[in-house]
Structures are given as C-alpha cells and as structure tokens.
C-alpha cells in the first residue's frame, strides 16, 4: 500500500469551527462564504483590537485564539462571526476588509438585528470589539468574566473618579483597621 506521503501540509481545519462556520454562514451570510482554507484555533499572531481572531484575506486563513476556545462556544462563535464579517467584506463586497468601517458595520448591524443587539457606529470601539461589548456581562460565563476582571486589575484606568468619601461612611467597627474596603466591585 504505497501511501501518498505528501499528505502532511494540508491546511488545518478544526471540526468544531467548520461546523460553527457552516451554521453561521447559512444563518447570517446566506451561505455565500467559502470555508477558509485554514480555519482553526491557534495563537493569534497579530491580534487586532478585538484580540481573539484574525482573518487574512490573501491567505484565506481564519484563526480563532486559544483563549477564545477556552471561554467556550458562545465566546468563540462570537469571535468567529466577527472574523466572518471581515471575510465577507473582503470576499463578497470587494473591499480591503481589515477595518471596522462602514462596510464592516453594515454587516454587523444587519446581524445584530437577528441577534437582538444594538447597532454600532463605524470605527467605534463597539465595532472593533463587536459583538463582545454588546453582550450582557454574564453572557459568556464565569471563565470569561473572571478574565475580564483580571484585565481590569492590570489596567486600572479611570478609577480616580471613585475617590472615597470614606470618612462619612466609616463605622466604628473595632479591629477593622488593616482592612481595605471596597475590593471587588467593578464599574459596571
Ligand atoms: Zn475585527
């Protein structure tokens, strides 16, 4: 059985992503998108602002991050549909497809109607991270929200406005001196 040895360089496709792609393609793109030659989970080399996926038009390659996979299907399918919009803009609309411009947003808002999400404006952060920022805080589950909290701790921006009128609230609880109060409330 002389097996053909030139089998190894076949571009990778991960089954669950192909299944999700096929389903989302049918639902949101009338089945017009071609399954990318490379469609897999992996390290996202140059993550865009949304961070969890990368579509390369010229290579017809769509990568979803390993972290997104760890957050579960709800999360990675959102990342996938985002990248599919980049693909649609490039392959169906004939534009560069890298930006979150009016071409991107036209698809995003069309799909948002089907998902019951709000519309976003071209170039906005909500467009860059679409549809992640439009989902309810607990939509993706515990793993993702924990990770989000950790990012907040690492980038404690804009928390100065919360300067504490602590004197007014201090109770005379004895022995509580060493405690810092107020850990753990996010700004949502
Ligand atoms: Zn994007």
Ligand 1 centroid–CA 138 distance in Å is 22
Ligand 1 centroid–CA 49 distance in Å is 7
pLDDT of the residue at 184: 39
Place of tokens 């995003």: 108
Mean pLDDT of 58-72: 93
Ligand 1 centroid–CA 157 distance in Å is 24
Q: What is the rounded distance in angstroms from the CA atom of residue 82 to the CA atom of residue 21? A: 11
Q: Looking at mean pLDDT, say which of 15-29, 42-56, 142-156, 165-179 comes out highest.
A: 15-29
Q: Judge whether 2 and 24 are in contact, CB under 8 Å.
A: no
Q: What is the rounded distance in angstroms from the CA atom of residue 102 to the CA atom of residue 122? A: 5
Ligand 1 centroid–CA 129 distance in Å is 7
Give the tens place of pLDDT for each residue, 25-45. 999 999 999 999 999 999 887
83 membership: H or E segment, kind and range: helix 73-91
Distance of CA 62 to the CA centre of its chain: 13
Distance of CA 150 to the CA centre of its chain: 16
Mark 60-83 as b/e (b = at least 16 C-beta within 10 Å).
Answer: bbbbbbebbbebeeebbbbbbbbb
Give the tens place of pLDDT for each residue, 86-104. 999 999 999 988 899 999 9
From the number of C-beta atoms within 10 Å of its C-beta (0-12, 13-18, 19+), residue 50 rates as buried
15-144 CATH: 3.30.2010
Which of the pair, 68 or 163, is modelled with greater confidence?
A: 68
pLDDT of the residue at 179: 43
Q: Judge whether 49 and 127 are in contact, CB under 8 Å.
A: no
Q: What is the rounded distance in angstroms from the CA atom of residue 58 to the CA atom of residue 53? A: 16
Which of the pair, 100 or 4, is modelled with greater confidence?
A: 100
Place of tokens 């669950």: 16
pLDDT of the residue at 135: 94
- Residues with beta carbon < 5 A to ion ligand 1? 48, 50
Q: What is the rounded distance in angstroms from the CA atom of residue 66 to the CA atom of residue 43? A: 6
Confidence category of residue 146, pLDDT binned at 50, 70, 90: confident
Q: Looking at mean pLDDT, say which of 17-21, 137-141, 169-173, 176-180 comes out highest.
A: 17-21
Ligand 1 centroid–CA 186 distance in Å is 26
Ligand 1 centroid–CA 159 distance in Å is 28
Lowest-confidence pick of 15-19, 60-64, 148-152: 148-152
Statement: residue 49 has pLDDT above 60: no
Ligand 1 centroid–CA 87 distance in Å is 10
Q: Domain coordinates of the chain in residue numbers?
A: 15-144
Partnered with residue 13 across adjacent β-strands are: 39
For the chain, the distance separating the N- and C-terminal CA atoms, rounded to the nearest angstrom, is: 63
Ligand 1 centroid–CA 187 distance in Å is 25
pLDDT of the residue at 4: 55
Mean per-residue pLDDT over the chain, rounded: 81
Q: Judge whether 65 and 45 are in contact, CB under 8 Å.
A: no
């Amino acid at each position: 059985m002389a097996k053909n040895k030139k089998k190894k360089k076949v571009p990778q496709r991960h089954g669950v992503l192909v299944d999700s792609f096929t389903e989302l393609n049918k639902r949101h793109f009338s089945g017009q998108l071609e399954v990318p030659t490379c469609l897999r989970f992996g390290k996202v080399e140059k993550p865009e602002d949304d961070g969890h996926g990368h579509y390369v038009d010229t290579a017809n390659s769509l990568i979803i991050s390993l972290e997104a996979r760890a957050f579960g299907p709800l999360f990675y399918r959102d990342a996938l549909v985002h990248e599919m919009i980049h693909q649609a803009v490039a392959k169906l609309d004939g534009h560069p497809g890298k930006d979150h411009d009016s071409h991107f947003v036209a698809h995003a808002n069309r799909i948002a109607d089907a998902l019951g999400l709000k519309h976003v404006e071209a170039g906005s952060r909500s467009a860059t991270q679409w549809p992640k920022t439009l989902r309810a805080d607990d939509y993706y589950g515990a793993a993702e929200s924990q990770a989000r909290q950790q990012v907040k701790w690492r980038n404690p921006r804009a928390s100065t406005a919360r300067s504490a009128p602590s004197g007014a609230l201090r109770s005379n609880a004895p022995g509580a001196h060493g405690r810092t109060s107020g850990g753990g409330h996010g700004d949502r």
